[in-house]
Structure 1
Amino acid sequence: MPRTILRQCIHCRQQLPRESMLCLTSNRDHHFSINGNPPLQGRSSYVCRNKACLTEALRAKKFQRTLKRAIPDAILEALNDQLKGISSL
């Protein structure tokens, strides 16, 4: 039986299966990936697919803090686009 991999939301600290969360990954060359597209190895930050969690994580700059680097505006815009596609919970 396969093991379920859990990750913690950077805002609410709730642990959920990795597949049910949004993931922002950054490698040492400062390339970024949202939900593993394209797949990268490096630091990752996970947030619930919840409008409140993603909004607050963006507002409080929690992605920048957990990834320990500045995030380009294009990536932040892509995360905002993800926010528009999430139904509020």
Structure 2
Amino acid sequence: MAKSISEIQKLNRIIIPIDTIKLIIEKLGDDLIWEYDEIKGELIIMKRPESYVEALMGLGEEMWKEAGGTKYIEEMRDEWDR
């Protein structure tokens, strides 16, 4: 697929080429999330999950393993009680 360049019109509209729209629908479906990443300056288009709970399940699992898992959480809770 060739890259396209679009300009934002005076009415704050952008024209997305039909080939690009067809590709997005083919790959992601027509239920999408549009997110702008201010740090990277990128617009991200992603498929909307059927269940946010399932999509986020396990997020940060590696972080908690590195920190010590359940033992770490218990230590933190013990500090709160002091």
Report the structure, 1 or 2, having the larger strand content: 1
Higher relative contact order (CA 8 A, sep 6+): 1
Report the structure, 1 or 2, having the larger helix content: 2
TM-score normalized by the length of structure 1: 0.28
TM-score normalized by the length of structure 2: 0.29
